Chains A and B, each alone.
Chain A
Amino acid sequence: MLLSRTLKEELIKYLFFCVAAVSIFIIFFIFFFLFQEALPAFQEMGWGIFSTKWNASNGPYGIGAAIFGTLIVTLGAMLIAIPLGILGAIFLSELAPHRLRIILKPIIELLAGVPSIVYGFIGIVLIVRYLQPSFDMLSGYSFLAGSLILGVMALPIIISMSDDAMKAVPRSYKEASLALGATKWETIKKVTIPSSISGISAAVVLGIGRAIGETMAVSLVLGNVMKIPLPPWDMFETTGTTLTSLIVNDMGEATGLHVNALFAGAVILFVIVAIMSISSNILQERVEKKFRGG
């Protein structure tokens, strides 16, 4: 009786161990595979991989222009999403009456799930068509369009996570402040936001990470040419690409070193996103520690 039960327990444990081992193997195999495939490009090109010299058919494969595009589109998106997102989160968590909140919060969470191809489609039929006449552009396809879409896409994540962060501030903190005669707004400014700042930063960082990795929505509204626009701040330029758009446009017909260069782009994306999600996690752990102690 004792033996069989112990045996059963051990067997179950092993079963779970094996399952976990398979998942972990998959995860680290993907990482390994990416790096392995990217290696030839890094070896062949050296630092030249970051240059802007790009020739799709026979090299060189410098992906600098795509990196630049990723940065500029993300920057533009964040100019929209960060202030609006944080303000929205404050409204949602501190200001909205409960009844309004329980409607708004699920709606915003729902919108985080809208597929990126739908945003891409909207980008073409609404945003690009709007921008072209409104700015008297050659065509509406531009970094600006990409930034607008990405900004809207990043909003739900930032709002929802920042809201959670602010909701996690213990009520006793706020009550202490209100009891001292502070207004609600002063309490928000002086207590709620400072004590949830790590969580809000985590939300922002995660939002940036998502924006950087977004593919379909962006690639559809960009010109997708491997060139840095002149002047570089030209958000209206119709030639422009990002790392994700580069990969999605070229991966169908790439061969040889070209493939490796795409993998190099993927590795760079991977590294950026890894840094983002790890720092977001660290920030969030900090929040948890803070409130568990208090």
Chain B
Amino acid sequence: MDLRKSYSYFKDFFKELLKRDNWEFKKIMCIVSIVFSSLVAIIGFASVAMSVYIGDIFLRFLLGTIAILISILLFYSYIKLHKKKELASLIVFVVIVFLLAYYMPLFPPQYELKAYDVDASILKFMITSFILIIVGILGASFSMKPLYNFTSKSSQASAYYVLTVAILLILYPLVVIVSSIVSNGIGGISWEFLTQDVSRHGSKGGVFPAIVGTLLLLMGTVFIALPLGIGSAIYLQEYAKKGKIVRVIRIGVDVLQGIPSIVHGLFGLAFFVPIFGISLLSGILIMSFLTLPIIIRSSEEALKSVPQSLREGSYAVGATRWQTIQRVVLPPALPGIITGTVLGVGRAAGETAPIMFTAVVFMGAGTPTSIFDPIQALPYHLLELTRYIGAYPVDQNAWATALLLLSIVLGMNAIAIIIREKYRVEF
């Protein structure tokens, strides 16, 4: 259904195109040129992604055609004299593209950077495909100008084109990452994988102890961080006098939230491990400290978003402060608080650095019997498998672990977002 909706966005765009008076030559040319330039940009993009050079003739053909198309457009579109700048930039563009079309195939197959003491070279496909991308995008946005008769609407169209390209560029790596993890990992997920212990450096067996360990870790974290976090937020937001001290505390919370997780790991290694050893408990404590500021901050935001007038309404009928918090402030703030908590715990679920020297082992933890036992955890398992890639045949299990971890973490985030959107109270 959503697909259909985004489809209607494009439909509107084409409707708009079709509506403009009748189809004259200039307009057909414009659209041909836009489509062709976009195609060139896509070809350039594909050739970067696949590391292939498209070949001299094809390159000349693509660039040459763009240059010719735009020159025709230039010729046919009436450019008023006061648009001199536009005219000049179009002419310069066409000339440059012609030059590129002639010279680029003559480039050597690679530029060695050895002369600069760098062990790498810039290959021809890199240069040519980047040029193709740039020329394609510029060409398309230039071709839009005659379509709107060089009014301010034409620069709007060009800008929109660039923005659309940008969002596609953004989505590309994200789509590649997710789709490759799903397609490579799905085959490795089996009943054995989910229920067996690690064996042969992770190339056989499964991740059951790691799942158990991660779950225990999260449960412990929620158990400690949730009451501390919500309680602190309630105190800071509802009881504390808004003064300098609260400001300093809030800055402290913010800074702690931004601290790299490896610093938490270092802290835990130096402070908790000497006391509790490499254990579930150390891991829980570190993860609690890591999620605490996230929970405090998001709970505070949620409490703050409850309008003061509601509190006043409650006080005005004789409610005490606690009754007001309990009955008026907390209910609408709850979705926000839960969202923040789930996000925080989701982050903890995916973290490796804080636990790698403080709580986890790669194999042999099984199901821990006390909080002083070490555990296995999914993120750490993935780290070890990543290190073994090439040395042992772990690829299949690594992809599967990545998929499992990704689905757990993204699943939690998705729940958080759904809660936020669904139970959002509008005031």
* Direct contact between A and B judged by beta carbons closer than 8 A: yes
Binding site for B on A (CB under 8 A): 5, 8-9, 12-13, 15-17, 19-20, 22-24, 26-28, 30-31, 33-34, 37, 83-85, 87-88, 90-92, 95-97, 99-100, 103-104, 106-122, 124-126, 130, 133-138, 152, 155, 159, 183-186, 188, 206, 209-210, 212-216, 220, 230-231, 234, 236-238, 244, 247-248, 251-252, 259, 262-263, 266, 269-270, 273-274, 276-278, 281
> In the complex, are the beta carbons of B118 and A237 less than 8 A apart?
yes
| Of the residues A92, A124, A251, A276, contact of B386 by C-beta under 8 Å | A124
Q: A12-B322, A103-B6 are in contact. Are A209 and B270 (CB under 8 A)?
A: no
| Of the residues B162, B164, B289, contact of A30 by C-beta under 8 Å | B289
Distance (Å) between the CB of B237 and the closest chain A CB? 10
> In the complex, are the beta carbons of A114 and B410 less than 8 A apart?
yes
CA distance A136 to B373 in the complex (A): 47
Q: Which residues of B contact A17 (CB under 8 A)?
A: 235, 239
A-B contact pairs, 14 of them (CB 8 A): A16-B231, A19-B227, A19-B235, A26-B292, A84-B169, A88-B166, A110-B417, A118-B406, A124-B389, A136-B121, A183-B152, A216-B383, A231-B118, A266-B267
> In the complex, are the beta carbons of B236 and A115 less than 8 A apart?
no
CA distance A251 to B354 in the complex (A): 11
Q: Which 8 A-B pairs have the closest CB atoms?
A: A115-B350, A213-B260, A19-B231, A87-B166, A185-B156, A99-B5, A20-B235, A236-B120
CA distance A216 to B340 in the complex (A): 24
Residue of A nearest to B12 (CB): A97
CA distance A117 to B355 in the complex (A): 13
Q: Which residues of A contact B181 (CB under 8 A)?
A: 118, 122
Q: Which of B189-248 contact A (CB under 8 A)?
A: 227-229, 231-232, 234-236, 238-240
Distance (Å) between the CB of B403 and the closest chain A CB? 9
Q: A113-B410, A135-B122, A273-B260 are in contact. Are A24 and B350 (CB under 8 A)?
A: no
Residue of B nearest to A259 (CB): B270
CA distance A137 to B121 in the complex (A): 7
Residue B160, interface by CB 8 Å = yes
CA distance A213 to B260 in the complex (A): 4
> In the complex, are the beta carbons of B258 and A138 less than 8 A apart?
no
B interface residue count range (under 10 / 10 to 19 / 20 to 34 / 35 or more): 35 or more
Q: Which residues of B contact A115 (CB under 8 A)?
A: 349-352, 379, 405-406, 409
Residue B57, interface by CB 8 Å = no
Q: Which of B321-344 contact A (CB under 8 A)?
A: 321-322, 343
Residue of A nearest to B159 (CB): A185
| Of the residues A91, A134, A215, contact of B163 by C-beta under 8 Å | A91
Q: Which residues of A contact B6 (CB under 8 A)?
A: 97, 99-100, 103
CA distance A31 to B254 in the complex (A): 12
Q: Which residues of A contact B231 (CB under 8 A)?
A: 15-16, 19-20, 23
What DSSP secondary structure best describes chain B's contact surface?
helix
Residue of A nearest to B113 (CB): A236
Residue B346, interface by CB 8 Å = yes
Residue of B nearest to A273 (CB): B258
What DSSP secondary structure best describes chain A's contact surface?
helix
> In the complex, are the beta carbons of B402 and A118 less than 8 A apart?
yes
Distance (Å) between the CB of A210 and the closest chain B CB? 8
| Of the residues B293, B357, B383, B395, contact of A252 by C-beta under 8 Å | B357
CA distance A133 to B125 in the complex (A): 12
Residue B256, interface by CB 8 Å = yes
Known: A33-B267, A237-B119, A273-B255. 18 other contacts (CB 8 A): A17-B239, A20-B231, A27-B252, A33-B271, A84-B169, A97-B6, A110-B413, A113-B343, A117-B379, A118-B181, A121-B382, A136-B121, A213-B258, A236-B119, A238-B119, A244-B260, A251-B265, A251-B269
Q: A90-B163, A124-B389, A135-B123 are in contact. Are A99 and B405 (CB under 8 A)?
A: no
> In the complex, are the beta carbons of A269 and B263 less than 8 A apart?
yes
> In the complex, are the beta carbons of B228 and A23 less than 8 A apart?
yes
Distance (Å) between the CB of B133 and the closest chain A CB? 13
Q: Which residues of A contact B264 (CB under 8 A)?
A: 30
Residue B117, interface by CB 8 Å = yes
> In the complex, are the beta carbons of B162 and A212 less than 8 A apart?
no
